[in-house]
Structure 1
Amino acid sequence: MNLKQAGSGADVDERLAALMTNANAVRAITAAVEGTIGPKGLDTMLVDRFGEVIITNDGVTILDKMDVNHPAAKMLINIAKAQQAEVGDGTTTATIMAGTLVAEGVSQVIRGVPVARVIEGVKYGVAHVIKAIKERGRQVNDIDDPILRRIAMIAGREHEDIADLVVEAARLIGVGKLSENTFKLSEIITAEAGADNEVFMGVIVNQERMTQEMPERIEKAKILLIDDALEPEEIEDEALSTEAGFKRYIELQDEFKNNIHKIVQLGVNVVMVDRGVHEAAEEILTDAGVQVVQRVSAKDLRRVADHAGARMIKRTGLKKNAADIEKYLGYAEKVYEDEKLEHMRVLGGRGKPMATILVGAATEEVVGERERIAKDAASSVQAAVKGGYVPGGGSMEISMAREVIKFRENLKGMSAYGIDCVVNALKQPLSQIVENAGYNPLEKVEEVINAQVAAETDSLGVDCDSGEVADMLERGVVDPVPVKLHAIKAAGEVAVAILRIDTIIKKKEENTAAQKSGGSIENEMPDF
């Protein structure tokens, strides 16, 4: 679409060119995900130049994998990623509302409303929505509250097996752990082809034991975690060519072997290493019946350390005396290799209780999607435990639209048009949900508004199977408060940022080499 088409046939003022360009880019991004929202939302197929295919209706995955160059479009994608990182769900809602805010804002500017007034109204409206949602949040009674399973079902796209796994894990972990800001339930999830669905207290390490000669199973494990390579200290080639250097090399080799023997004498029977393991260490530890796992990810090492009550040590730390090294060791009831799934399990650690959700998948092609679904469900359950929940299915946004319109008269002058942008953006999630279900969005949105006014409730929405107005709370269709709050806040922030852009200028390429050599000014001029 060119600028004249976007301006309904009229010539668009040059000063609006940047705004129109950004609005078109944002609209293209919104269009990519809006068809996925709601229980009747469809999937998107992503294909790269090598023919690799991803089929998903996860908003942030679609946005993250899209080939996008436009800066305004990237801003919108970054907001979705921030939503995912912060609360783990609600990315599609945030994207749809942000796209509508921008589109409505541009329409008001074309009509003659100053951008500054539109922004003022948008900020005012979003602030009141956030305040109202906080006030209307319902709290989760306890970890056995049935509403948690409904939340897991909705965020988990009606996958009952995944919802059950997430809720079971939440019960094992408890409210205290779920309420910690540093803990994310979604991080304990792993999906593997050929696995059975499972929740257990313990940690999975996605590596196998170093050799088949090492024991497959260790009971009463005494664990050493090395956040380094288990190799002798290196010496430079130039130094090695001298007599003193070669002598030092021999000393380091002997010292390293002594350190490995020290590990064995301490009774350590499980060693996990961040990087590689030297052949001399492999031989000594194998002969001693020690189970060694190398190239363990930093994430897995941290989880094992927490669960086993261990502290990670560098290879230079192995020079310490045995009593000092003992303080770094962790303990677990059992460490064993699952040969079918090709990973290690650490169970019954003496440190923090750690649960793992193992999501099974029939084939490698669906592993990623099953894991994404489980992570969304886990994030939503944790968010609800921490911040409560509100009616879902777009009903709360409609209620907020009715609430915000009341504040329109409080704003003087043209700022009220910014409130209109917020109202229309709040209507959009329900509008898109019912459109995806095959109903007339204008008709259904008005039905819900009238029904909410008549019943004086914020929980009425649309049953996407029958098309009838229904109570979302009674149906168990709810959204976590933190997800809702962050989506509205993020949408408002990115819309304001995009509407504020008045001019787009191509940056010059930074030519470091030319600058260092005194390159000419002509060569450093920006290219417009």
Structure 2
Amino acid sequence: MAKQLYFDEEAQRALKRGVDIVANAVKTTLGPRGRNVAIDKKFGAPTVTHDGVTVAKEIELKDPFENMGAQLLKEAATKTNDVAGDGTTTATVLAQSIVHEGLKVVAAGSNPMLIKRGLDKGAEAIVGAIRSLSKPIRDRAEIAHIASISAADREIGDLIAEVMEKVGKDGVITVEESKGVAYETEYTEGMQIDRGYISGYFITNTERQESELEDPYILITDKKISSVQDIVPTLERVLQHTKNFVIIAEDIDGEALATLVVNKMRGTINPLGIKAPGFGDRRKAMLQDIAILTGGTVISEEIGRKLDSVTLDDLGRCRRVVSTKDDTTFIEGKGEESAIHGRIEQIRAQIETTTSDYDREKLQERLAKLAGGVAVIKVGAATEPELKEKKHRVEDALSATRAAVEEGVVPGGGVSLLNAVSSLENVKPANDDERVGIQILRRALEEPTRILAENAGEDGAVIVDTVRRLQKEKGDTTYGYNVLSGEFASMVEQGIIDPAKVTRSAVQNAVSIASMILTTEALITDIPEEKPAVAMPPGGMDY
């Protein structure tokens, strides 16, 4: 297919138009006085959202050259959302400002590659300043503050603080839609795997369709068990102490399953058979997790162990096992604390080094099952559009809160970015163009405070100047503008704080994408095909 090309200034102007369209739509949502954006859906009511990344993701432009600029800016928003879960609008506002100022100086003759170098040096200094400004989260009240600010709703903030307190910072928290109109929470105690009982004959509670075993012995193996001779020696040893016996295996069938079912019906033994969770290497890792949690050993031929060599010391223990047709929960495993802690640290190290988002998600699930718990927040609303909008806000607030727990918090309201400007004084540019790059970043860091004020109906430039003057007068770098109350005060005392990770990611991603746009000199896209006009059908006969 033939291509069309834009070069130099023409290319950069097209990219800028695309950037402006996305940024102007997204920045209306910034801050507690930010507006909503309604997104048309082909079927049903439009989606109304206050979430920057949701707005950005919906934008596709007809002009392919402008669309390249739009898609590049969307990347800054999406990447910030992926890493920190919030800060997408801040990243968009920063990137737009850098592109605007950068294209002006490039048109005036500056070298874009040297400007990029100046931007990179400046961003490194800003990230260091944000890290040094951050304060760790100390208690539930601060967690509630962070979540409330992100969601612009105190109820959501209190709910997330309560859930995080129960499941811990490593716990898994999922957000689902509810049939009612209020928020609901559900908690899963202990470790849960997504495999239930192999046979309905193992059910002990017919009303709830569950199998519940108190203080059982647990055999963990990666083998398929078909012959009863594989498990008879272990069964005999277990029966000397208890009737409750759990088997986790690749599968249990044939003679072995029939023997367990018959003896269960006779009341000789109270067994529970469960298929091993996961597949391949992940299955081995999850079986090892269960073994460490319960203090057992994985019986595998890979390590030279056969089922006929099992002793009671190889079997895991826990206070209670509850199994449904879909999942099984192990409550209060009796493994050694030091072994569990060691396994947790090992998984954390794997999370840090993995490059796959899918692997990271699965590792975090394993970590949560070992270290914390599992919670579900069910979001309810009166109408479908309100439900979608609320669910977005809860998900954003949850991500922002996790980011705050990880890297601490900084003063909100754009104040941390204003304060980080002073760190640029220590950056040594190698030439005039690098100095220009650093100046561009200095100007861009004021933009979030300006837009916050403008969305609240104030003059952005006046607010920025007033904040700087009051910080000097009061000797307090946390001073800023509270757009809700219309007062100038300490952001920290007013409870207006942002996760450091969100602010840091916004700066890094904005500089990265803006630099890419500034250093782009040619655009290539397909020439759209002219579609032939549709032929009219022949006329019908008149009657």
Determine if the TM-score, normalized by the shorter chain, exceeds 0.5: yes
How many Å apart are 1:99 and its aligned residue? 2.8
The one of 358, 361, 377 aligned to 2:376: 358
2:320 corresponding residue in structure 1: 334
1:107 corresponding residue in structure 2: 104
Counterparts of 1:54 and 1:260, CA distance in 2: 57
SS in 1 for 2:32: coil
Q: Does 1:196 align with 2:184?
A: yes
Aligned partner of 1:107: which letter? K
Check whether the contact 2:230–2:307 (CA below 8 A) recurs between aligned residues.
Answer: no
Aligned partner of 1:357: which letter? A
SS in 1 for 2:318: strand
Q: Does 1:463 align with 2:479?
A: no
Counterparts of 2:274 and 2:45, CA distance in 1: 32
How many Å apart are 1:325 and its aligned residue? 9.4
How many Å apart are 1:189 and its aligned residue? 3.6
How many Å apart are 1:193 and its aligned residue? 2.6
CA RMSD, 1 decimal: 4.6
What TM-score do you get using the length of structure 1 for normalisation?
A: 0.69
Q: How does 1:260-339 map to 2 (within 5 A)?
A: 269-270=245-246, 288=264, 290-291=271-272, 302=286, 305=290, 308=294, 320-323=306-309, 330-336=316-322
How many Å apart are 1:474 and its aligned residue? 0.8
Aligned partner of 2:411: which letter? P
With over 3 angstroms needed to count, the CA separation of the structure-2 counterparts of 1:75 and 1:231, relative to structure 1, is: farther
Counterparts of 2:252 and 2:388, CA distance in 1: 31
With over 3 angstroms needed to count, the CA separation of the structure-2 counterparts of 1:323 and 1:189, relative to structure 1, is: farther
1:435 corresponding residue in structure 2: 454
Aligned partner of 1:349: which letter? G
- The alignment-based identity, stated in percent, is 23
The one of 114, 118, 134 aligned to 1:121: 118
Counterparts of 2:32 and 2:58, CA distance in 1: 23
How many Å apart are 1:397 and its aligned residue? 1.5
2:50 corresponding residue in structure 1: 57
The one of 454, 472, 484 aligned to 1:453: 472
Aligned partner of 1:196: which letter? E
With over 3 angstroms needed to count, the CA separation of the structure-2 counterparts of 1:60 and 1:376, relative to structure 1, is: same
SS in 2 for 1:470: strand
SS in 2 for 1:358: strand
2:3 corresponding residue in structure 1: none
With over 3 angstroms needed to count, the CA separation of the structure-2 counterparts of 1:196 and 1:136, relative to structure 1, is: closer
2:524 corresponding residue in structure 1: 505
Counterparts of 2:71 and 2:298, CA distance in 1: 39
With over 3 angstroms needed to count, the CA separation of the structure-2 counterparts of 1:122 and 1:165, relative to structure 1, is: closer
How many Å apart are 1:437 and its aligned residue? 2.9
Deviations along 1:258-302, one digit per CA (max 9) or x if unpaired, are: 66878977777556789x987988766655454566696679994
Q: Does 1:15 align with 2:13?
A: no
Counterparts of 2:126 and 2:189, CA distance in 1: 40
With over 3 angstroms needed to count, the CA separation of the structure-2 counterparts of 1:192 and 1:204, relative to structure 1, is: farther
Counterparts of 2:156 and 2:465, CA distance in 1: 36
1:86 corresponding residue in structure 2: 83
1:387 corresponding residue in structure 2: 407
Deviations along 1:42-73, one digit per CA (max 9) or x if unpaired, are: 44455555659755434445545665884554
How many Å apart are 1:473 and its aligned residue? 0.8
Check whether the contact 2:115–2:437 (CA below 8 A) recurs between aligned residues.
Answer: yes
1:244 corresponding residue in structure 2: none
Aligned partner of 1:444: which letter? I
SS in 1 for 2:34: coil
What TM-score do you get using the length of structure 2 for normalisation?
A: 0.67
Aligned partner of 1:160: which letter? E
Check whether the contact 2:148–2:397 (CA below 8 A) recurs between aligned residues.
Answer: yes
- More contact order relative to length (CA 8 Å, sep ≥ 6): 2
Counterparts of 1:333 and 1:367, CA distance in 2: 39
Q: How does 1:120-199 map to 2 (within 5 A)?
A: 120-140=117-137, 142=138, 144=139, 146-166=141-161, 169-170=164-165, 173=168, 178=169, 184-185=170-171, 187-191=172-176, 193=178, 196-199=184-187
The one of 17, 35, 45 aligned to 2:28: 35
How many Å apart are 1:495 and its aligned residue? 1.7
Check whether the contact 2:277–2:286 (CA below 8 A) recurs between aligned residues.
Answer: no
- Which one is further off, 314-323 or 465-474? 314-323
1:98 corresponding residue in structure 2: 95
Aligned partner of 1:321: which letter? L
With over 3 angstroms needed to count, the CA separation of the structure-2 counterparts of 1:487 and 1:280, relative to structure 1, is: farther
Aligned partner of 1:193: which letter? S
Aligned partner of 1:220: which letter? D
With over 3 angstroms needed to count, the CA separation of the structure-2 counterparts of 1:258 and 1:34, relative to structure 1, is: farther
Check whether the contact 1:96–1:428 (CA below 8 A) recurs between aligned residues.
Answer: yes
Counterparts of 2:45 and 2:213, CA distance in 1: 40
Counterparts of 1:64 and 1:310, CA distance in 2: 48
